[in-house]
């Protein structure tokens, strides 16, 4: 039986990890909600943002957090363009299937370019405060992890407020709920879908920066992330942002706690076990999201 101190430490680490998962999964579920698009390249953009943060720190000497001033607008614009120029051209009948192929190609292109420009060497941002930590009832919280968690929390809150309180957010949610009906009441769904996509990719920019603060990055790292993220959005209910966030926290915590008993290799399987269980017993997901039933 693991000691209380270890359990408490693992719970804290799990929550910090879950926060990051929540932000990343929120973007991924948004794409599916808006367009029924399975965005395989989401995590590739995540790693791209991490590389940009690393590069701006090591080459330009600026704090990685400041790189978001550039990457967030850049990613938002890329998202809009990606949706309008590529994904909008896919035929509605085969959209979901074809979007897998299209975004898979984008992911491979990003990975290839990263490898070409930065080589396959593993990189890590070396921050002055990289190993400092705060103490909380005997457990330790690394400052960088706390910053990453804070970024995720603030972004999720901002996303929530945009979705709930702004006209654009209402239009976006209407488009997610019923595209044709949204069109009928006068919403320009194409435009909204484009912006929604941009919003999703902007979360990848923030997530990537948060990620780069405390882990090693290498070009093919995105394959390591896309599986768990896909599992999270299915468990949370496809298209549901709060569902994805809740599922992310639960699974992140579960992964962290299972590592105590099972070790790193086997703890990763918690995502896939949860995925199977969800598909077998509750395909619409555990936290809202009625979309999966229809597809």
Partner 1 sequence: MTIRRTRKTWATAVGATLALALGACGGDEPEAASTDEPIVVGISLPLTGDFSEPGKGVQRGYEAWAKITNDKGGLLGRQIELKILDDQSNADRVVADYEQLIGSDQVDIVVGPFSTRLVVPAARVAQEYGMLFVEPAGAAKEVFEQGFKNLFYAAPAVANDHYNHLAEYLLALPAGQKPTTVAYAAMDDPFAQGTAYGLKEKLEAGGVKTVVNEVYPPNTTDFSSIAAKIATSKADMLVGGSQYQDGVNLIVALQQLNYQPKLAAFSTAPTSPEFAAAIGNKTEGILSPTGYTQDAPYDSNKEFVEKYTAQFGSPPEEDEANAYTTGQVVAAAVTAAGCAEQGECQQKLIDWVRTATVDTVVGPLSWDETGKPKGAHMIQQWVGGEIKIVLPADAKETDLVYPKPAW
263 binds partner 1 (CB under 8 A): yes
Tell me, residue by residue from 17 to 36, as one string, x for binding to partner 1 by CB under 8 A and - for no binding: x-------------------
5 binds partner 1 (CB under 8 A): yes
Cβ proximity to partner 1, 259 vs 278, nearer residue:
259
Interface with partner 1 (CB under 8 A), residue from 39, 41, 72, 142: 142
Q: How far is the CB of 267 from partner 1 (least distance, A)?
A: 7
Interface with partner 1 (CB under 8 A), residue from 81, 96, 118, 133: 133
DSSP assignments along the chain, one per residue:
---HHHHHHHHHHHHHHHHHHHHHHHHHHHHHHHH----TTHHHHHHHHHHHHHHHHHTS---GGGGHHHHHHHHHHHHHHIIIIIGGGS-GGGHHHHHHHHHHHHHHHHHHHHHHHH-S--B----TTTT-EEEETTEEEEHHHHHHHHHHHHHHHHHHHHHHHSHHHHHHHHHHH-HHHHHHTT--HHHHHHHHHHHHHHHHHHHHHHHHTTS-B-GGGHHHHHHHHHHHHHHH-TT-HHHHHHHHHHHHHHHHHHHHHHHHHHHTTHHHHHHHHHHHH-TT-SSS--HHHH-
CA–CA separation, 229 vs 235, rounded Å? 10
Question: Which of the ranges 28-36, 198-206, 263-271, 272-280 carries the binding residues for partner 1, by CB under 8 A?
Answer: 263-271
Q: How far is the CB of 148 from partner 1 (least distance, A)?
A: 11
Cβ proximity to partner 1, 256 vs 278, nearer residue:
256
**Alpha carbon 112 to chain centroid, angstroms:** 21
Q: Which of 277, 271, 278, 276 is nearest to 293 (CA)?
A: 278
6 binds partner 1 (CB under 8 A): yes
Q: Which of residues 214-233 bind partner 1 (CB under 8 A)?
A: 215-218, 221, 224
Question: Which of the ranges 119-127, 169-177, 181-189, 199-207 carries the binding residues for partner 1, by CB under 8 A?
Answer: 119-127
Residue count, binding to partner 1 (CB under 8 A): 34
Interface with partner 1 (CB under 8 A), residue from 94, 119, 132, 177: 132
150 binds partner 1 (CB under 8 A): no
165 binds partner 1 (CB under 8 A): no
167 binds partner 1 (CB under 8 A): no
Q: Are 258 and 2 in contact (CB under 8 A)?
A: no
Cβ proximity to partner 1, 94 vs 216, nearer residue:
216
List of residues contacting partner 1 (CB under 8 A): 2-3, 5-6, 9-10, 13, 17, 122, 124, 126, 128, 130-133, 135, 140, 142, 144-145, 215-218, 221, 224, 256, 259-260, 263-265, 267
């Amino acid at each position: 039986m693991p000691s209380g101190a270890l359990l408490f430490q693992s719970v804290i680490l799990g929550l910090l990890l879950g926060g990051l998962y929540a932000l990343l999964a929120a973007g991924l579920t948004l794409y599916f909600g808006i367009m029924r698009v399975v965005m395989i390249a989401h995590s590739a953009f995540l790693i791209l943002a991490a590389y940009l943060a690393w590069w701006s720190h090591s080459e330009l000497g600026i704090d990685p957090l400041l790189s978001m001033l550039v990457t967030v607008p850049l990613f938002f614009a890329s998202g809009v363009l990606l949706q309008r120029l590529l994904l909008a051209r896919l035929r509605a009948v085969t959209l979901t299937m074809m979007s897998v192929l299209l975004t898979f190609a984008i992911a491979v292109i990003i990975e290839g370019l990263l490898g070409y420009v930065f080589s396959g060497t593993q990189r890590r941002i070396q921050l002055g405060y990289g190993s400092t930590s705060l103490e909380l009832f005997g457990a330790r919280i690394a400052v960088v992890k706390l910053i990453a968690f804070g970024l995720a929390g603030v972004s999720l809150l901002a996303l929530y407020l945009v979705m709930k309180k702004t006209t654009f957010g209402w239009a976006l949610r209407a488009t997610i709920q019923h595209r044709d009906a949204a069109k009928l009441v006068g919403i320009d769904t194409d435009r909204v879908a484009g912006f929604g996509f941009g919003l999703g990719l902007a979360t990848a920019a923030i997530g990537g920066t948060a990620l780069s603060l405390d882990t090693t990055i290498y070009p093919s790292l995105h394959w390591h992330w896309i599986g768990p993220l896909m599992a999270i959005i299915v468990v949370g209910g496809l298209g549901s942002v709060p569902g994805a966030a809740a599922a992310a926290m639960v699974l992140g915590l579960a992964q962290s706690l299972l590592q105590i008993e099972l070790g790193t290799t086997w703890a990763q399987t918690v995502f896939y076990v949860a995925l199977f269980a969800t598909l077998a017993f509750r395909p619409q997901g555990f936290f809202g999201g009625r979309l999966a039933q229809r597809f």
